[in-house]
Structure 1
């Protein structure tokens, strides 16, 4: 790779003085609402993306105004745990200092603020810091927010897994003081920054890590670069199976890009967890493609050098040898909505939040409802990787009150179908600059259409299809692990992918390219009709379309995805 020209992102990282750049100068420039030159990219390492409201972009241009620049911030919340007092603080900030007034729960098991204008950016970081939250390394070429199975803590195993998610996150964080200096008014010293794990130019591309407890695959392990599958003996965590090289992003029209399942490297004892995490990250740091960012993710490094070669290097750097993987099975990946009782006698209420968007809608004040629960709740909240929210650690005597508040504010709706509960979309328009088609705003009505198709063909109410929509091929909505995945191609048009499975271990394959919503529904009508009449007992839609030959299975991503 040294003979090839490095991408410009490598230059800007190298010249950034450990991610400082001239962000502070830009922050004080009131002539523009945005960040300029390299800083547009560098603020991502601080957890922010510059965006604008695309719904009004053309109108502002007519008025000879620049786009309404603002930032989206993604918080760092390993395992998705947040306290009620923290929640009330972020709720207040969203009300008072964002353009949209909402809190959005994401597929990365955290929350996002959308629409923060430049004068409020430093206040945002300082507000978060005061309540023990930051946004360090939730974007950019670093290890991002570490996910963890969000099943309520029913055993010591769940608590151990969450603690390891926090440890991994801290271990892999950037060590630069840039975040504190710029946003928290930290003392500026002559820099002696060192990045022993990430390196002075950080990683070639973004890197995602999870900790998961079978049989729940609620974090979708095959969407991530590095996954630790918890293995227990007698209810005690003894180690992890390590899966490396998953990822879902691709580029339309570029067959050198593709979604990929993670490879199983084997088992490691629990005391080697951080060593292995660092070894995988540093191997990708040194071996990843720094010339072509479209081929820079870990999945491409594994396919280029060979999975066995990459694994051997990880063993060398970590000073271990992987043992054969211990047996495990994924049987589900949805959130168990409603009440669940833990072994400690505490109760946990998982609330369905469509698209993760917490806002007060007419007759359905969701955001106010969560705030009202936070005022009386004595446990904590858990954000899930499926965009839902768990009210965790509720004493038996408080259940009725919590449920009453939730129902009064529309947070519990007994009429929500299983199909809606198992459908998901990324943010997309109007804020995401990469969006090619609608996703979040499109999904609710589209799910209604799919519900009608299922009903038309006599399928029982509890039946559903894992359905996901993304506004572009970058993978935020994890459509490439769905039974039916729609990937935005242009306004009102999507690529239709079929053939994933219910437990999230198979990539779907493109069935129809660049088709309209009406065409998608016509295809669904035909295929669901066949599924209803021809399926085997308990057979999911994705397994059915593969078995009867509607679509070929993707066994090896690079070989099969475009075949």
Structure 2
């Protein structure tokens, strides 16, 4: 980090991932040497952003970044365009205010997600608290972070969430050794050891019925179980989700979680350690494309996997507790928190917080934060929840947003509200084609197609990525476009409209951008003709299956269905 080069070595790049940073270059700059810069991703369990942290990120993005912020699909912010010479200052500034980038990337536990809704009901409070517990339980213990970014000095404050869960004795639980091989004889990392995990490890926690966070895509998903008085009893646990895959390699695939069982609250930290140790010791370290926990769960099957976890845990895992049906809600718009205050879900197209022409979202957020000392919860859908709003200030908040060119929720196309995309080109080195920059036009084109076919009232959950790695969770969507070449996409169908229990399936590959309507029109025509009453598009495609859809499409004449 101290030399005069504008880039870092390949070895240093791998280390930087554990510290929340990726080296990037603008792939569209030609005729010059690579213009290296760094993306920095924060790690904030439960997606909670204090007003102090937002002010800092706003300033850093303006002074040392490319001028905008990117809301991520795992409930935090990314800064793009940070130069190597500024990286240390940026990271140290974030640490000094109680934020962190440790574990935002790399082969360790990533940012722990939960529902973004700031309801004050007991079950939502439990979910937020325990997301911070698991973030602390699985944090890396090495002092390399402070050695690199702070020259070994102690930072001004510990992470804000760490202070909030001190009463639960998380450090004591981390080091507790049940004698079954969970805790390693390692002087630095009692759970990770010297090799850490085979690959990244993602955790999410929610309440029964609330699947706003795509709970089934995590390595571990937990569901809070309370009694009738709101007292926490324990957690339903699911395992083995994950979305990354590689084109033309069938041994890689997207996968939704299986239900593992139920664990009482007093045992959940030991159970979580046992699951992590199972992946640490038995995950595939030889083939990186098959290193995620989902492949171990798939290979063993859930029953064998459960027995393996129990061998570390030391007791049987109880059966899954019945819970209410899942619903998907993005928590956009106005809601009552339950304490007399309101929250407002602010939709952000593709997560880009920027000022551009009359659209001045970044400035609007700064005005709100400065005026009301407003805190935010990041959303799993790349949007933002504005929290703790006094009802008397509702009209002013709306006016501030309007004055800065922000659409009201009623003005946002439902297709846009239900969509997500990854950044892709020009900065992502893995992108095969566009995603974020082209998704708005796809929403317009899809809307025009629905109007043409007289089904304009349909709301279809769409996602787009520039490569098959799954960063915007495309394989859970009802309709997804996954980049597989220049201006070319693989089309996926059949994800659940409530994002539960299954992935979509691949329908067509190498569909060129300019003929996408021709690909989708037959599917929508079949939907019109053969759907059941009130059946969602994703459920219809899943019920029909790829063979039936292909047969119908092969016999369909374009333009047969008209308004």
Q: Give the secondary-structure state (helix, strand or coil) at the position aligned to 1:521.
A: helix
Counterparts of 2:194 and 2:486, CA distance in 1: 40
Q: Pick one of 56, 78, 91 that aligns with 1:112.
A: 78
Q: Which residue number corresponds to residue 161 of structure 2?
A: none
Give the equivalent residue in structure 1 for 2:14: 41
**Where does residue 434 of structure 1 map in the other structure?**
430
Q: Does 1:207 align with 2:181?
A: no
Q: TM-score, normalised on structure 1?
A: 0.89
TM (normalized to structure 2)?
0.89
Q: State how 1:409-428 maps to structure 2 within 5 Å.
A: 409-413=404-408, 414-428=410-424
Shift in Å, 1:210: 0.5
Mapping of 1:365-404 within 5 angstroms? 365-404=360-399
Please name the residue that 1:507 is paired with. Answer: 503
Q: 1:491 aligns with which of 470, 486, 489?
A: 486
Find out whether 1:517 has 2:513 as its counterpart. Answer: yes
Q: CA deviation at 1:460?
A: 4.4
Q: Which 10-residue stretch deviates more, 277-286 or 319-328?
A: 319-328
Structure 1 residues 440 and 334: CA distance shift in structure 2, 3 A: farther
Q: Secondary structure at the match of 2:542?
A: helix
By how many angstroms is 1:272 displaced? 1.8
**CA distance, structure 1, for counterparts of residue 97 and residue 414 of structure 2:** 36
Counterpart for residue 177 of structure 2: none
User: Which residue of 1 is the match for residue 100 of structure 2?
Assistant: 134
Q: Determine the C-alpha separation between the residues in 2 that align with 1:318 and 1:168.
A: 16
Q: How does 1:241-252 map to 2 (within 5 A)?
A: 241-252=236-247
In structure 1, what is the equivalent of residue 125 of structure 2?
Answer: 159
Counterpart contact for 2:61–2:67, Cα < 8 Å = yes
Residue equivalent to 2:281: 286
1:183 to 149, 160, 169: 149
- Assess if the C-alpha contact under 8 Å between 1:33 and 1:117 holds in 2: yes
Count residues with an aligned counterpart.
515
Show CA shifts across 1:50-76 (max 9, x none): 1111111x321xxxx2x1111111101
In 1, distance between residues paired with 2:357 and 2:375? 27
Stretches of structure 1 that go unaligned for 5 or more consecutive residues are 1-26, 554-563
Aligned counterpart for 2:24 among listed residues 51, 64, 71: 51
Contact 1:352-1:411 within 8 A present in 2 as well? no
CA drift of 1:508 comes to: 1.0
Decide whether aligned partners of structure 1 residues 52 and 552 sit closer, same or farther in structure 2, where only a CA change above 3 A counts.
Answer: farther
RMSD: 1.7
Q: Select between 374-383 and 111-120 the one with higher mean Cα deviation.
A: 374-383
User: How far did 1:382 drift?
Assistant: 0.4
- Mapped partners of 1:551, 1:387: distance in 2: 34
SS in 2 for 1:38: helix
Partner of 1:222: 216
Question: What is the CA–CA distance in structure 1 between the aligned matches of 2:48 and 2:372, rounded to whole Å?
Answer: 14
Q: Secondary structure at the match of 2:10?
A: coil
Counterparts of 1:348-359 in structure 2, within 5 Å, are 348-359=343-354
Paired residues of 1:334 and 1:386 also in contact (CA < 8 A): no
Q: Is the 8 A contact 2:462 2:479 kept in 1?
A: yes
2:337 alignment partner in structure 1: 342
Instruction: Quickly say closer, same or farther: Cα 1:551–1:379, change in 2 above 3 A.
Output: farther
1:408 and 2:403 aligned? yes
Counterpart-to-counterpart distance in 2, 1:264 and 1:327: 11
1:533 Cα deviation after fit: 4.2
Question: Equivalents in 2 of 1:103, 1:236: separation in Å?
Answer: 38
Q: Which moved more, 1:322-331 or 1:334-343?
A: 322-331
1:70 maps to 37
Q: Secondary structure at the match of 2:92?
A: helix
Q: Distance in 2 between matches of 1:445 and 1:294?
A: 32
* Pairwise CA distance, 1:551: 5.2
